[in-house]
Amino acid sequence: MLLRGEAYYDACIDKNKLRAEVMAYLISMPIQLIYLRIEQYDWLLHLIEYSFDKLRKNALTTVQHAEFCLTSCHTGSNEPIHTGKTLVSTLSSYMPNLQTLRLWRDDDFPWTSIRPEYPAGQLYQVLTRQWIKSLETPESIVKHVAVFEQNLCELVEQLKQLVYLDIYGEIERKKVESYRSMIEKCFPNSRVYMNISRLRLWF
C-alpha cells in the first residue's frame, strides 16, 4: 500500500508539472497578457512552483483581469481548505496591476478558512459534519464576518488598482446582511450587490 501511495503521489506531481509547463508556454505567447482565466487557483500555484523559469519575463505583470476557482473552505482535507490564504500575496506579487478579480467558490465568500484541522479517518467525517452544522450559529457568523473583513481589507491594501471583485459561491441566508453591513462600514464609497450565491463589489 505504501508503494502504491508513493507511486500515485509521484504521478500527481508529474501531472502537475506537465500542466504547469504547458501553461507557461501558453501564457508567454501573447505580447501583453491582459485577461487570465485558469480553471483552478491551484494550477496557478503549480505554474509558479514548477515552471516559473519557463515563463516570459514579466508575463503576468500585465494581467488586469483574473478568474479562477478556489477550493472549499469548509470541506476537504486539511491542506486544500487553507489554499486561499496565499491568494492575496500571490496576486500582489505576480499580478500587481490587477483591476478585476472573479472567484468561483463551492461555498462561503471568504477565501481564508477558519475550520480546525481534523485527523484523517472516520472521525474526520463526523467532525466535518459537525462543522457544517455549526455554520449558521451566531458565533460562527460573527467569526466569518471578521475573517471576510480581513480578506477584503488585505486585498484592497495589496492590490492598489483593484476596482471590482466578483465572487460566485453559496452562503447561508443569515450571512447576507451581516456581510453587507460589514462591507458598507469598511468601504463606505463602494457599491455592493449580494445574495446567497453571488457577491459583486465595486471599490
Domain that holds residue 113: 2-202
Q: pLDDT tens across 13-37, in order?
A: 778 888 888 788 778 776 788 999 9
pLDDT digits (tens, 9 = 90+) for 59-111: 899 999 999 999 999 988 888 889 999 999 999 999 999 999 999 998 999 99
Report pTM.
0.86
The rounded distance, in Å, linking the Cα atoms of 23 and 137 is 42
Q: Please report how the helices 87-94 and 41-51 are oriented relative to each other, as an axis angle in degrees rounded to 10.
A: 50
The DSSP bridge partners found for residue 100 are 65, 164
Q: What's the number of domains the chain is made of? A: 1
**% of the chain exceeding 70 in pLDDT:** 94
Please identify which residue in the block is written with the cell numbers 487557483.
41
Q: How, if at all, do strands 164-168 and 100-104 pair?
A: parallel
* pLDDT score of 2: 41
C-alpha cell belonging to residue 57: 519575463
pLDDT band at 7 (very low <50, low <70, confident <90, very high): low
